């Protein structure tokens, strides 16, 4: 019985996570465009990763409790930047970069 209570306590976080994922999918091209809109979406991706680790830790998944969150955010940021660069070089999205 107490196991089910654990899942009920993370339900609001799961809803927030799904809502943010939908927001990211809806505006995925913003991430690739770069500029301030891209930076905002990059922050959203990092926030989603952080919330996913929070939910896992709250559910009692032992691996989630041992994660170095600072390192995870740094590595995820580099991966996002590299993925965006590759997708842009492949011409997946056609856009005009914002002037600097």
CA distance 98 to 26: 20
Q: Is the dihedral of CA 75, 42, 69, 62 positive or negative?
A: negative
pTM score, two decimals?
Answer: 0.65
Residue boundaries of the structural domains of the chain: 2-89
Task: State residue 80's pLDDT score.
Answer: 84
pLDDT digits (tens, 9 = 90+) for 6-58: 667 777 777 777 777 777 766 666 666 666 777 887 888 888 889 888 888 88
- Whether the pLDDT of residue 77 is over 70: the answer is yes
């Amino acid at each position: 019985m107490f196991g089910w209570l654990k899942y009920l306590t993370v339900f609001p976080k799961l809803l927030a996570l799904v809502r943010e994922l939908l927001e990211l999918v809806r505006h995925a091209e913003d991430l690739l465009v770069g500029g301030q809109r891209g930076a905002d979406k990059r922050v959203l991706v990092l926030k989603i990763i952080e919330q996913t680790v929070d939910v896992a830790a709250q559910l009692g998944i032992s691996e989630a409790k041992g994660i170095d969150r600072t390192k995870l955010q740094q590595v995820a940021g580099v991966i996002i930047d590299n993925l965006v660069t590759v997708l842009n070089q492949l011409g997946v999205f056609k856009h005009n970069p914002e002037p600097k």
